[in-house]
Amino acid sequence: MTSGKTDEPLVKENFPLKALNTFGLDVRARYFATIDSDACLELLLDQEIFRDRKFLILGHGSNVLFSSDYDGLVARMCLKGKRVVQEDSNQVVLEVSGGEDWSELVTYTVDRGWGGIENLAMVPGTVGAAPIQNIACYGQNLVDVFVSLDAIDLASGTLKTFSKEECAFSYRDSMFKRSEGKRYLVTKVRLSLSKNPVTDTSYHSRYDSIEDELRASARPPFTIRDVYRAVCTIRTRKLPDVKEIGSAGSFFKNPVVSREKALELRKSVPGLQVYPVDQLLYSQGGKVLVDDSTHLKVPAGWLLEEMGWKGRRIGSCGLWPKHALIVVNYGSATPGELLAFVETVREAFFQRYGIRLENEVDIV
Ligand SMILES: Cc1cc2nc3c(=O)[nH]c(=O)nc-3n(C[C@H](O)[C@H](O)[C@H](O)COP(=O)(O)OP(=O)(O)OC[C@H]3O[C@@H](n4cnc5c(N)ncnc54)[C@H](O)[C@@H]3O)c2cc1C
């Protein structure tokens, strides 16, 4: 079966993925397809390929760690397009296809003066993957601008629109990251952006602050473009460039712990910054499990730094010298070596603080 556009087969075999995952791991997919048109998607659905085989939807591969060659179908989401579906004097609702580049989308919105995602500049990946873990940074979360998304249930081939509530977003999580959500392909995402934006410059960490960056680079009143530029500067300084160093960003989530535990940590690590859990609900079956009154988020990177692990390297694996939460591949690491390194970090953290770090990255 061909894609229709060329004589190339729709599904290729033994396909190399090294250039398609930002860890740069030299792995292969037993079967591989690129979804770059509605026709191509329809063909794949008609053939019931997703029903017959184990599959993985791939965007830009910037939040996955392949544990070995993938013994199934890897389908790469490349559907493009964006359009305004609603507009008034205050806001615009933008509908964006899942294969669009997130970072380019942020630039596009800032260029038009539409606010709401400028702090999410330079987050690698596709628009379709953004809701999967509710991407967030520098004080903005995808959920804050999210309206709805369209996704195809690959088991039945039916299209469904999901509201914010149905996506069950929480900190670096959504329904789609859990087993019941893995059968969906996100095709379109709708975001509500403000035409009268209010900038959020409140973010600061142990080393960086948007306010400091703005004071050095712009004049008040600060615009969303100023904030966008400040975030780009901080990220360029602090994060590894995936074109040169393999990584998937923060490997672990910041732990959410009880207020008592956070207090205990602050006694052993003086000055440790703690964060509110925010409005993000940690719920199951409609029941809120975690909220601001009982729990706090603690910075795992800071705690790893206290352990002397920032910048530590074992063979080709390491924790990034400028950001301890980022696991990097210095070039020739194998999946097994990276997995072993991650477990070593997790165990050392547990021995020191009694907290088991959870993965943010999807190990497949
Ligand atoms: C240097 C660096 C910095 C980063 N900084 C941040 C940050 O600041 N904040 C943040 O939140 N994240 C950050 N990340 C993580 C990453 O950018 C996001 O998770 C991003 O959304 C992943 O997009 P992707 O297209 O690469 O997804 P992939 O890695 O290809 O996929 C990730 C997961 O989503 C699923 N998926 C992807 N596309 C779809 C789709 N269309 N439908 C259904 N499922 C899908 C995949 O199956 C997989 O489970 C960073 C990563 C790197 C490498």
Please state, in angstroms and rounded to a whole number, the distance separating the CA atoms of residues 225 and 121: 10
Nearest residue (by CA) to ligand 1, atom 45, is 129
- pLDDT given for residue 205 in this prediction: 84
Distance 360 CA to ligand 1 centre (A): 10
Please state, in angstroms and rounded to a whole number, the distance separating the CA atoms of residues 291 and 115: 28
Q: Are 32 and 74 in contact (CB under 8 A)?
A: yes
Nearest residue (by CA) to ligand 1, atom 20, is 125
Specify the fold of 12-77. 3.30.43
Nearest residue (by CA) to ligand 1, atom 2, is 249
Of the candidates 95, 148, 170, 172, the residue annotated as catalytic is 172
Helix intervals (H) in the chain: 38-46, 49-52, 102-111, 164-167, 210-217, 224-238, 259-268, 300-306, 335-353
**CA triple 103-77-141, angle to 5 deg:** 40
> What are residue 150's phi and psi, to 5 degrees?
-105, 140
- pLDDT given for residue 295 in this prediction: 87
β-strand 362-363 against 64-65: which pairing, if any? Answer: parallel
360 is catalytic: yes
Helix H or strand E encompassing 163: strand 158-163
- pLDDT given for residue 290 in this prediction: 57
- pLDDT given for residue 3 in this prediction: 58
352 is catalytic: no
Residues with CB under 6 A from ligand 1: 22, 56-64, 77, 98, 123-126, 128-130, 132-133, 135-137, 176, 184-186, 239-240, 242, 247-249, 362
User: Tens-of-pLDDT digits for all 364 residues of the chain?
Assistant: 665 566 778 999 999 999 999 999 999 999 999 999 999 999 999 988 898 889 999 999 999 999 999 999 999 999 999 999 999 999 999 999 999 999 999 999 999 999 999 999 999 999 999 999 999 999 899 999 999 999 999 999 999 999 999 999 988 999 999 999 999 999 999 999 999 999 999 888 888 899 999 999 999 999 999 999 999 999 999 999 999 999 999 999 999 999 999 999 999 998 998 888 764 444 444 445 556 678 899 999 999 999 999 999 999 999 999 999 999 999 999 999 999 999 999 999 999 999 999 999 999 9
Classify 246-363 by CATH class: alpha beta
Helix intervals (H) in 113-271: 164-167, 210-217, 224-238, 259-268
Distance 126 CA to ligand 1 centre (A): 7
Query: For residue 310, which of 325, 298, 297 has the smallest C-alpha distance?
Result: 325
CATH code for the domain defined by 82-194:
3.30.465.10
Residue ranges covered by each domain of the chain: 12-77, 82-194, 246-363
Of the candidates 95, 213, 305, 360, the residue annotated as catalytic is 360
For residue 307, count CB atoms less than 10 angstroms from its CB and return exposed for 0-12, middle for 13-18, buried for 19 or more.
Answer: middle
217 is catalytic: no
